[in-house]
Amino acid sequence: MTGKILQRDRAEVDMIFDEIRERLEEELDYYNEAANLNFFANAFRDVPGIRVPATHPSLCTGRVLTMDRLPGKPLEEFLKDADERARQQAGLNLARSFFVMVYELRALHADPHAGNYLFEPDGTLGILDFGCVKRFDEYFVADYARVAEHGIAGDKHTTLQLLRKLGGLCSEDPGAAELLWELVEIMAMPFRAGKFMAGGPEDDLQERTRNIGPRFLRYPEIRTPRDMIYLHRALGGIYSMLRRLQVSANWRALSRPYHEQAIKRAEGRV
């Protein structure tokens, strides 16, 4: 019934629910979360401006998870007294944490709502709750980086070819291709604008995305590949926080080295 309402075939709907079920089951496993915490704490140990709490194994069980207490305030409290410099630094740390997780670690904190982050007065970021983590293989990450690079460059043909390869476009229907490219153009806007302020007067990305959303129901050929379900959920959550912080940055310059490194790694060049 759900598939008919959404105009999606049963296999696609089952895939989406399988992915959600797997992540939810992981969130109930404290041993799994402790392992995730240790992995990310080690990965970010020497990354300035980003903190992940370490665990205390002797005090952990299948029903109890004991970790370091991190300093900082929730986003709403941080915004009350943070100055411009602290907000900008917090936003850059937030964006950098996403790029490092996806393109370097290939393991993503996939529950990015504001309650899972703490902000220190200088903009240092603390990340909590690693029960929901999505992992990727290096070839998917490289293709996703290629989609980003070609989409930002305005290379419609190559971008759509890559999205077909990833399973995001399953036909040659020109209407479906045009709609998907329209979405790519919207998402690429901050990366084409030089310096762009998330949440600033020119930022209408969320509104434009919502406006074209209903049109996707006409095209079951446009799909969300399994690996993109939680990736885009995380991207949306991060972007919502960047808007609240009103972060201004050259997003192209910030993201490009991560894209290029991921592509080189998959091609065996590093």
Whether the pLDDT of residue 8 is over 50: the answer is yes
Per-residue pLDDT of 122-160, as tens digits, reads 999 999 999 889 999 999 999 999 999 999 999 999 999
Whether the pLDDT of residue 221 is over 60: the answer is yes
Write the CB contacts of 13 (distance below 8 Å, at least 6 apart in sequence): 2, 3, 6
What are the residue ranges spanned by the domains of the chain? Answer: 2-266
Max distance between CA atoms of the chain, in angstroms, equals 59
Per-residue pLDDT of 71-114, as tens digits, reads 999 999 999 999 999 999 999 999 999 999 999 999 999 988 89
For range 220-229, the mean pLDDT: 93
pLDDT value for 4: 44
Per-residue b or e along 207-245, where b marks 16 or more CB atoms closer than 10 Å to that residue's CB:
ebeeeeeeebeebbbbbbbbbbbbbebbbebbbbbbbbb
235: nearest Cα among 194, 183, 175: 183
pLDDT value for 7: 54
Per-residue pLDDT of 248-269, as tens digits, reads 999 999 999 999 999 999 999 9
Write the CB contacts of 229 (distance below 8 Å, at least 6 apart in sequence): 16, 19, 20
Write the CB contacts of 23 (distance below 8 Å, at least 6 apart in sequence): 110, 132, 134, 230
- The pLDDT confidence band at residue 60, using thresholds 50, 70 and 90, is confident
Evaluate whether 13 touches 2 at the Cβ level (below 8 Å): yes
Per-residue pLDDT of 158-211, as tens digits, reads 999 999 999 999 989 999 999 999 999 999 999 998 899 999 999 999 999 999
Dist CA 232 CA 172 (whole Å): 24
- Segments in 7-137 forming alpha helices (H): 10-27, 30-43, 75-81, 84-99
- The pLDDT confidence band at residue 28, using thresholds 50, 70 and 90, is low
C-alpha distances in Å from residue 159, one per residue of 76, 142, 182, 214, 268: 38, 13, 12, 22, 22
For the entire predicted model, the pTM comes to 0.90
- The pLDDT confidence band at residue 10, using thresholds 50, 70 and 90, is confident
In the chain, % of residues over pLDDT 90: 80
For the chain, first and last CA: distance in Å? 48
Angle, vertex CA 191, rays to CA 236 and CA 105, nearest 5: 60
How many residues does this entry show for the chain? 270
